Amino acid sequence: MTKTIFEKIILREIPATIHHEDDDLIIIDDINPVAPIHLLIIPKKKIETLNDLNAEDTELIGKMFQAAKKMAIKLGIDKSGYRTIFNCNEDGGQTVYHIHLHFIGGRSLGWPPG
């Protein structure tokens, strides 16, 4: 099976700007940012889509959101605000089939999104 771009980044087969890494997660810059701050919070465990989550993944998903909170504080946007997004499947805008949480901020974000 072909590795996703995220698996290649996790394995250091391709470079990325890494903001945080631990045993479960890696946080990198999005290569096509939509805001001044656009990070991807990626679990090291490959889960293709949100539809593939199991009960055992609950703690991992919680850890992803806790990482978002910590990044917001670290980057000084916890008070002004930020957005977190999971995309699921083609119509949901998912292009890499390894779940990842978009962390977007640094400017006012309108609603509805594109």
Active site residues: 100
Per-position DSSP letters for 23-51, written without gaps between them = SSEEEEE-SS-SSSEEEEEEESS---SGG
In 10 A of CB 17, how many CB atoms? Answer: 10
- Token code pair at residue 92: 């949901």
- 66 closest CA partner among 110, 114, 22: 22
Rounded CA gap, 41 and 101, in Å? 5
